[in-house]
Structure 1
Amino acid sequence: MRIWFILFCSLLLQVSACTPRPVNQSDGSASGLVRSAFVTEAEILSILSYLTHDSLNGRSAGTIENRQVTQYLADYFSSIGLKPLLDEHFINTFYTNDNDTGYSISNVIGYLRGSSKPDEYILVSAHFDHVVSGFYNQVDKIYNGANDNASGTTAMMMLAKHYALTETNKRSIIFCAFNGEESGLLGSQDLAQKLPAGKIVAGINLEMLGVPQYGKRSLMVTGMKKSNLAGIMRSNLKGTGIRLLNEKGDLFERSDNYPFASKGVPAHSIMASDDRDRCYHQGCDELKRIDIRNMADLTNAIIVAISTIVEGTDTPGRIVLK
């Protein structure tokens, strides 16, 4: 049953990835939000259904199920035409001594060359691991992590597909599915040591986009006063009906943007909810809570929000941490 489910999801993704469609279309509403033809509610649901399935047991780092998701993400990157960045393969494995127990885990990294500014990079990322099942209580022993962070991973995959199939990026884009975020930002710390920070003009890290805790069609950027990235995004979102809210809480140092920000990269996390959500790191963080339509809106909005950075006409200032 489990094998057939995984094969079915993979087939849906391959068919969707190969179907030619128009590049963009208006949503037909007064908001004026431009929608990518390659960001669909059907594919968002398909990816989320796979990532949150009970058979994956929460995708925690170091598990067999986590390695299965690693291969799934690599296969997806290959199917849409991305190229490997650091190795001959999309899977970049590293060794960790987390909690005095050594084991290897892998990030999944794909690359799309820019048409006119190939030596300037944008990093688009999301972590795909979740906490150990049943770690916080014993009521629901499978912590599916639908919002945290299957939602961000799915949105990252949708952005990768959009840019790979439209070929509109003038700057190069690195797409990374980070592993080990829940164990202490392990994947992003590793990659930050391997990439030249001076060539990364912006880091767009996607977190918890499935539950509209801040209200529908609303986004928040962490550490928004540390660079002008949020200002660029807000300017691009004018007239779309998408709200870019002031920062909620102090989350800037708690996600995969931070290892890059500490090196001066204007790297921030984009979120629709945070750790005050009642199902954060709980068994109730399940697919049924995800607002698929709103998530599609937000994914399209992120494409609009970062469009001038991708096109090379806007460059956010570097971060200087005190």
Structure 2
Amino acid sequence: MRKLYFFASVLLIACGSQKLAPTTNPVVTESTSGITKVDFAKEENVAKTLKFLASDDNEGRDSGSKGIEKASVFLENMMKENGIKPYFKTYRDTLSNFDKPAYNIVGYIEGNDSKLKNEFVIIGAHYDHIGKIAAVNGDDIANGANDNASGSTAVTEVMKYFAKNKKNKRSLIFVFFSAEEKGLLGSKHLAKKLKAANLDLYIMFNFEMIGVPMQNKDFILYLTGFGKTNMASKMNEYAGEKVIGYVPAETKYQLFRASDNYPFFTEFDVPAQTVSTFDFENFDFYHKPDDEFELMDPKHMTNVVNTMIPVLEIMMNKPTKEITINVK
């Protein structure tokens, strides 16, 4: 997550490659509340992807660096191996607003409804981090496991599900954003590019810092810009239980404007929001070398993914655009 400065205060927030086996099918189970959930993402796969993205070999994934190039190749290969097409000529969307070669990684799954496939849902997370920084106890690599290898890992599992099951009526664009830490540059670039191409965007849904669970909450995720749309209430309706909630820090630190959802909100004027479990109380190593794989909770992350998959599926397949911006 990037740093933003408001009134002189600091605002803070903000996967080896696995090929999906052709015979793999999600196991559907019933929760105690009677809603249908999927048992698709596996903890061992979540952990494997997360560990790679947050490894020292990637040197903190600074945009334009040799380290992030390894992560780029990894994510491209995952898309290719799971039959996800590039949205552009290649998977790489070269940033026009950064002084080093940097790339969003962008894949595409066409919708299966003859009409609704002309409308799009973007699901994304930033895969860059801040690279090497001042050493702490001899460690100068800011691995960015929580920020945001965790969110990127979630996106890999969601895209594998839809690549396998092809249950999306609307078309899906999956994006791993670069240069978020430089000022949302990857998402700003892509939002302008897609707007200029007259993309019919329904919603943008972003994962940010989901590596460790919140404590003493009756929901598993909070939504930035909570009151700006009806997304939270509709997602809870689709889930049949409260899975999305509100935390005061979201408003206090203006987190809605601090991650890759925001450029899509400003360019398209459609619901574009981020889910997170970083609440300023459950993780002490934001932008520090200790943001390591070993401190993450893959079991929690797997639960987040398997909870969100059916909610996202319902949301993207509704015959009308039920998620709307609230009256301003």
Q: Which category describes the TM-score, using the shorter chain as reference length?
A: 0.7 to 0.9
Counterpart mapping for 1:1-322 below 5 A:
9-10=16-17, 13-14=18-19, 17-26=20-29, 30=32, 32=34, 34-87=36-89, 89-97=90-98, 102-116=99-113, 117-135=116-134, 139-196=138-195, 199-214=200-215, 218-239=220-241, 243-247=243-247, 248-249=249-250, 250-263=254-267, 264-275=269-280, 277-313=283-319, 315-319=321-325
* Contact kept? 1:41, 1:296, Cα under 8 Å: yes
* Contact kept? 1:33, 1:301, Cα under 8 Å: no
Q: Amino acid of the residue matched to residue 172 of structure 1?
A: S
2: CA distance, partners of 1:314 / 1:208: 30
* Contact kept? 1:124, 1:203, Cα under 8 Å: yes
Which string of whole-angstrom CA distances, capped at 9 and with x for unpartnered residues, describes residues 272-302 of structure 1? 1145531111111111111111111111111
* Contact kept? 1:120, 1:171, Cα under 8 Å: yes
TM (norm. structure 2) is 0.85
Deviation at 1:174, TM superposition (A): 0.3
Deviation at 1:64, TM superposition (A): 0.5
* Contact kept? 1:151, 1:207, Cα under 8 Å: yes
1: CA distance, partners of 2:166 / 2:83: 11
Q: Percent identity?
A: 31
Which string of whole-angstrom CA distances, capped at 9 and with x for unpartnered residues, describes residues 47-75 of structure 1? 01111111111111110011111111111
In structure 2, the gaps of 5 or more residues are 1-15
2: CA distance, partners of 1:111 / 1:20: 22
Secondary structure of 1:159 counterpart: helix
2: CA distance, partners of 1:238 / 1:188: 32
In structure 1, the gaps of 5 or more residues are 1-8
TM (norm. structure 1) is 0.87
Q: Amino acid of the residue matched to residue 233 of structure 1?
A: M
Q: Amino acid of the residue matched to residue 25 of structure 1?
A: V
Deviation at 1:35, TM superposition (A): 4.2
Taking structure 1 as reference, are residues 236 and 155 closer, same or farther at Cα in structure 2, changes over 3 Å only?
same
Q: Amino acid of the residue matched to residue 260 of structure 1?
A: F
* Contact kept? 2:96, 2:189, Cα under 8 Å: no
Taking structure 1 as reference, are residues 285 and 199 closer, same or farther at Cα in structure 2, changes over 3 Å only?
same
Q: Which residue does the alignment assign to 1:6?
A: none
Taking structure 1 as reference, are residues 166 and 61 closer, same or farther at Cα in structure 2, changes over 3 Å only?
same
RMSD between superposed Cα atoms in Å: 2.2
Secondary structure of 1:211 counterpart: coil
Deviation at 1:31, TM superposition (A): 5.0
Taking structure 1 as reference, are residues 92 and 275 closer, same or farther at Cα in structure 2, changes over 3 Å only?
farther
2: CA distance, partners of 1:316 / 1:206: 21
> Which consecutive aligned stretches of 4+ in structure 1 deviate over 6 angstroms post-superposition?
none
Deviation at 1:36, TM superposition (A): 3.3
Q: Amino acid of the residue matched to residue 49 of structure 2?
A: I
Deviation at 1:19, TM superposition (A): 4.0
